[in-house]
């Protein structure tokens, strides 16, 4: 390990605060270039410890960056592993509160539920299939705490592999009834197909990702517990979502599962009953058009940040007050001598 305990705790607190307040940050290896793999997982473990201390329940684990599409999208070359707690779990068809997230993306995944614990080293696809109770379709919502999703592998491990929310549902299927490699996967956003893939995209067989997770944990003296849900990794690249989006995932033989992303804000504008964040600014007359434009741009940006609404939905209205109406506590500007 290259970092001391205090630094590890400080980085865990920083990353978890970013998660809880929906704030982004620069990747932590920028300031700690010597950080090694053990440090990265120690930071992730400390984030889990913080959550458990506040009453969270560990309900599952995840493998990430297990498909070529994902590795290519993120510019990395090996899988990473993280944890899932109860607050990440969203019921089927429920609304995800976009305001609680920074820049969410969705991924289609095959989720495993184990009937027996799995421990590496030496875990393989056969052992995973024997220990699996059933598999389900799952949508993972990832939300890297790093600005613009720009990170390296160690930084993303420390950030619990961008884990944020997930839903599982559809039809539970025993693993001996299907060939997971040839399962067709189709994800749609607002009724349009946004990604298509097959199970084999995940390390040749999604169970290989679960075996890799068990082997990773085995090296650290841990195991995948019975009853845990395991997300085996995005089959295709991740897709960005905006407030108001609907995302559906259909996997051959496993049925479908869906999520809604809460609309930004419900306001009525002068144009009718349109969903859009709306701000009115009062200013004394006399500003140039350029100055007014700059105010509109700044306020629009603040609304985008505060509500998560797309910039195109934001409206800013400037009211100009005549100079003679301006005053302080009933004394006009003129009488104030200004
Ligand atoms: C890292 C998490 C990747 C997956 O399924 O590949 C992941 C990221 O891309 O931010 O969960
Ligand atoms: Mg994932």
Q: What is the pLDDT of residues 89-140, one digit of tens each?
A: 999 989 999 999 999 999 999 999 999 999 999 999 999 999 999 999 999 9
Q: Residue 86: which residues within 8 A CB-CB, separation 6 or more?
A: 56, 57, 59
CA–CA distance, 257 with 250 (Å, rounded to integer): 7
Least confident of 12-26, 242-256, 309-323: 309-323
Q: Is 260 helix (H, G, I), strand (E, B) or coil?
A: strand
The CATH fold of domain 56-261: Fumarylacetoacetate hydrolase; domain 2 (3.90.850)
Tell me the ligand closest to 76's alpha carbon. 1
pLDDT band at 273 (very low <50, low <70, confident <90, very high): very low
CA 149 vs. chain centroid, Å, equals 10
Q: Do domains 56-261 and 278-336 have the same CATH topology?
A: no
Q: Enumerate residues 6+ apart whose C-beta is below 8 A from 262.
A: 95, 96, 97, 98, 99, 243, 244
In the block, which residue shows the tokens 């950030």? 159
70 touches ligand 1 (CB under 6 Å): yes
Instruction: Kindly give the distance from the C-alpha atom of residue 10 to the centroid of ligand 2, in angstroms, as a whole number.
Output: 26
Percent of the chain with pLDDT over 90: 75
| Burial class of residue 4 in the structure, from the number of CB atoms within 10 Å of its CB (0-12 exposed, 13-18 middle, 19+ buried) | exposed
Q: Does the reported pTM lie above 0.85?
A: no
Is the beta carbon of 106 within 6 A of some atom in ligand 1?
no
Q: Output the residue whose Cα is nearest ligand 1's atom 7.
A: 64
Instruction: Assess if CATH 3.30.930.10 describes domain 278-336.
Output: no
Active site residue 225: no
Element (H, E) at 166: strand 163-168
The DSSP line for 264-296 is: S----BTTBS----EEEEEEES---HHHHHHHH
Residues 43/212, Cβ–Cβ less than 8 Å: no
In the structure, what pLDDT confidence band is assigned to residue 268 with cuts at 50, 70 and 90? very low
pLDDT, mean over the chain? 92
Percent pLDDT > 70 in the chain is 96
Residue 265: what pLDDT?
Answer: 57
Pocket lining: 228 vs ligand 1, CB cutoff 6 Å:
no
Tell me the mean pLDDT in the region 265-269: 49
- Which pLDDT tens digit goes with each residue over 226-242? 999 999 999 999 999 99
| Selected catalytic residue, list 79, 137, 206, 277 | 277
- Whole-angstrom Cα distance, residue 302 to residue 286? 24
Task: Give the start-to-end residue ranges of the domains of the chain.
Answer: 56-261, 278-336
Band (pLDDT 50/70/90 cuts) for residue 75 is confident
Q: How far apart are CA 151 and CA 24, in angstroms?
A: 12
Q: 146, 155 in Cβ contact below 8 A?
A: yes
DSSP single-letter state for residue 313 = G
| DSSP-derived secondary structure for 115-143 | SS-B--SS--HHHHHHHEEEEEEEEEEE-
> Tens of pLDDT along 18-58?
999 999 999 999 999 999 999 999 999 999 999 999 999 99
Mean pLDDT of 151-155: 95
Nearest alpha-carbon partner for 158 in 22, 1, 27, 6: 27
List CB contacts of 154: < 8 A, sequence separation 6 or more: 29, 35, 36, 37, 39, 40
| Cα 142 to ligand 1 centre (Å) | 7
pLDDT score recorded for residue 267: 46
As a whole number of Å, the end-to-end CA separation of the chain is 64
Question: Is the per-residue pLDDT at 281 higher than 50?
Answer: yes
> Which H or E run includes 248?
strand 246-251
Partners of 25 in the β-ladder: 146
Nearest residue (CA) to ligand 1, atom 11: 64
């Amino acid at each position: 390990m290259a970092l001391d305990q205090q630094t590890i705790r400080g980085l865990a607190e920083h990353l978890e605060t970013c998660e809880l307040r929906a704030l982004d940050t620069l990747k932590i290896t920028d300031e700690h270039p010597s950080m090694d793999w053990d440090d990265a997982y120690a930071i992730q473990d400390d984030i889990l410890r913080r959550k458990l201390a506040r009453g969270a329940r560990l309900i599952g684990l995840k493998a990430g960056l297990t498909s070529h599409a994902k590795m290519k999208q993120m510019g990395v070359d090996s899988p990473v592993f993280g944890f899932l707690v109860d607050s990440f779990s969203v019921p089927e068809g429920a609304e995800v509160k976009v305001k609680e997230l920074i820049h969410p993306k969705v991924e289609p995944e095959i989720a495993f539920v184990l009937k027996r614990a799995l421990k590496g080293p030496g875990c393989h696809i056969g052992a995973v299939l024997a220990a699996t109770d059933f598999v389900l379709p799952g949508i993972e919502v990832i939300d890297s705490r790093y600005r613009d999703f720009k990170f390296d592998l160690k930084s993303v491990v420390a950030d619990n592999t961008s884990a944020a929310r997930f839903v599982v549902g559809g039809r539970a299927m025993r693993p001996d009834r299907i060939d997971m490699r040839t399962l067709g996967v189709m994800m749609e956003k607002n009724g349009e197909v946004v990604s298509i893939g097959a199970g084999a995209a995940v390390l040749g067989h999604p169970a290989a990702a679960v075996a890799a997770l068990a082997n990773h944990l085995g090296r650290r003296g841990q195991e995948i517990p019975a009853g845990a849900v395991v997300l085996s990794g995005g089959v295709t690249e991740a897709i960005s979502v905006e407030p108001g989006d609907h995302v559906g995932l259909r996997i051959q033989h496993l049925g479908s599962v869906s999520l809604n992303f809460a609309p930004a804000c419900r306001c009525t504008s002068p144009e009718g009953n349109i969903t859009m964040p709306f701000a009115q600014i009062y200013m004394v007359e006399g500003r140039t058009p350029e100055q007014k434009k700059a105010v509109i741009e700044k306020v629009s940006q603040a609304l985008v940040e505060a509500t998560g609404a797309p910039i195109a939905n934001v409206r800013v209205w400037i009211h100009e007050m005549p100079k003679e109406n301006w005053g302080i506590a009933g004394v006009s500007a003129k009488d104030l001598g200004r």
